[in-house]
Amino acid sequence: MSKRGFVDKEEGWMSTRVRARFTLLLGASLVAVIGLVISGSALGSANQSCGTVTLNEQAWTGSTANTYVAKYVLEKELGCTVKITKITEIPVFQAMADGKVDAVLEDWNHVDQYKQFVTKQKSVVLVRSNGLVGHIGWFVPKYLLKQYPAFKTWRGLKGKESVFKSPESGSQGMFLGGDPSYVQKDKELIGLLGLDFKHVTVGAEPAEVARFTQQIKQQKPVIFYWWTPQYLNASLNLAEVKLPPRFKGCQDDASSGGTVKKYKCAYAADPLNKLLSKEFTQSGSPAVSVLRKFKWSNADQNLVAKWIAGDKVKPDKAAEKWVKANAAKVNAWLK
């Protein structure tokens, strides 16, 4: 650049060239300003009574189902403009504190974040239960129960662990662990129950799905960490292995530390929560009440999620289909 400038000066070209560039720049910025004005005015014409509501969708398909059903209802019934963000689970708390996200419709009990943002800062409002009940457990494919009916409970696994052996686990049975981001205590449970399993970490949810579907396709034995609601359950045909009953003070999240003994029980059936940003709840938007009342069942969510991920229906269309077939449920949110 500068070298050319040097040559230009020698030839006495600089002034005209600079002027030409300046004109070009001016033209470009003029176009830009017009662009801004036009797009700005287009944005300003949103519906006044509700305004814009920002919902956060998480990576799993159930969350997509929640978000698009809520979006459809808010747009059609209240005339809101709904924006969808896709921020990952932990950072979304700060996003709500900053008022950049208004609502999360499915949160799997992030206790530490509740402490910081809900109790201490009061920047996020926790709304207990969206109707969904999350439950984690140990699952095996049903075909396996034909040969080993005892696998219905953990006691039946004892002594038979080697059925699940793989090159990775050597002589032990292989237990496929869950996504690092999900609540889990399987390593502890395996030890407490005295089972001869090797806990193998398989990584994120899609990676875990890849691992066990490959076993299931070959009709091989496999035991793994899994949960409901999950749309794949309908097509996978799984059975849950019964773990020891729950007792008072029994815990599920091994990362919270403490004595190992408190993990020796089945995972709880936890109602899942909704989160609203404090700023949003005080905005007076009619959407607040609808999102507070938003509630549906595991079966509802699995159905919509199956349409989206299994049948590849566009989320907007899947939501429309469900809302039209479930007017009674939707009306309860609108009251």
Partner 1 sequence: MSVAAAEIRTAAPALSHRPWWRGKIVQTAGIVALMYLAYRAWSLEYPWPDRLTWNALPFRIDDFQIWLLDQENAEDPSFVFAVFDGFATFVDNLVGWFNRFLLWLTWAGTIAAGTSVALRFGGWRAAAWVGGAFASFALMGLWEESMQTLALMLAAVGLSLSVGIPLGIVAGLSNRFQQAITPILDAMQIVPAFAYLMPVVILFSVGPGAAVVSTMIYAIPPAVRITALGIRGVAANTVEAANSMGSTRRQVLTKVQLPLSRRMLLLGVNQTILFALSMVVIAGLIGGGGLGDVVTSGLYSNPSLAILAGVAIVVLAMALDRATEASADRTDPTRRHLTEAERGRLRMATAAFAAAVFAVVALAKVFGVAAIYPETATAQDWLLAKVQAALDYVTDPATFIFAITEPLGNFILVEIFQPLQQFLIEAPWFTTVLGLTAIALVVSGLRPALTTLAMLASIGVIGMWEPAMDTLSQVLVATVITVLVGVALGVWAAESKTVSRSLRPVNDVLQTLPQLIYIIPFIYLMPVSIVPGIVAGVLYAFPVVVRLVERGVRDVAPETVEAASAFGATRRQVLTKVKIPLAGDAIMLGVNQGIIMVLAVVVIGGLVGSGGLGYLVAQGLVRGEFGLGVVASLAILALGIALDRVTQATQGKRKEGIE
Binding site for partner 1 (CB under 8 A): 1-4, 6-7, 13, 17, 20, 24, 27, 32, 35-36, 38-39, 57, 59-61, 64, 85-92, 94-95, 97-98, 100-101, 110, 112-113, 116, 120-121, 123, 166-168, 179-181, 200-207, 210-211, 213-215, 217-218, 255, 305, 308-309, 312
How far is Cα 188 from Cα 197, in angstroms, rounded to an integer? 11
Measured from the CB atom, is 208 or 300 closer to partner 1?
208
How far is Cα 328 from Cα 202, in angstroms, rounded to an integer? 42
Measured from the CB atom, is 153 or 181 closer to partner 1?
181
Shortest distance (Å) from residue 184 CB to partner 1: 10
Measured from the CB atom, is 88 or 235 closer to partner 1?
88
Q: Work out the number of other CB atoms within 10 angstroms of the CB of residue 244.
A: 15
Measured from the CB atom, is 107 or 300 closer to partner 1?
107
How far is Cα 96 from Cα 105, in angstroms, rounded to an integer? 13
How far is Cα 103 from Cα 93, in angstroms, rounded to an integer? 10
Shortest distance (Å) from residue 86 CB to partner 1: 4
E strands of the chain, at which residues? 52-56, 81-85, 103-107, 124-127, 133-141, 173-176, 197-200, 223-228, 238-241, 269-271, 273-277
Measured from the CB atom, is 49 or 259 closer to partner 1?
259
Give residues with Cβ within 8 angstroms of 102, minimum separation 6.
53, 54, 55, 96, 276, 277, 279, 280, 287, 291
Measured from the CB atom, is 129 or 256 closer to partner 1?
256
Which candidate, 198, 154, 202, 161, places its Cα nearest to that of 178? 202
Shortest distance (Å) from residue 289 CB to partner 1: 26
Measured from the CB atom, is 77 or 320 closer to partner 1?
320
CA 153 to each of CA 145, 148, 158: distance values in angstroms, whole numbers, following the listed order: 11, 11, 10
Shortest distance (Å) from residue 81 CB to partner 1: 16
Shortest distance (Å) from residue 67 CB to partner 1: 10
Measured from the CB atom, is 154 or 226 closer to partner 1?
226
Shortest distance (Å) from residue 271 CB to partner 1: 20
Torsion of CA 81, 83, 84, 89, to 10 degrees: -110
Give residues with Cβ within 8 angstroms of 148, minimum separation 6.
156, 160, 163
Measured from the CB atom, is 286 or 310 closer to partner 1?
310
Shortest distance (Å) from residue 191 CB to partner 1: 17
Question: Residue 229, preceding bond cis, omega within 30 degrees?
Answer: yes
| DSSP bridge partners of 125 | 276
Shortest distance (Å) from residue 256 CB to partner 1: 10
How far is Cα 125 from Cα 115, in angstroms, rounded to an integer? 11
Shortest distance (Å) from residue 56 CB to partner 1: 9
81-85 vs 52-56, strand pairing mode: parallel
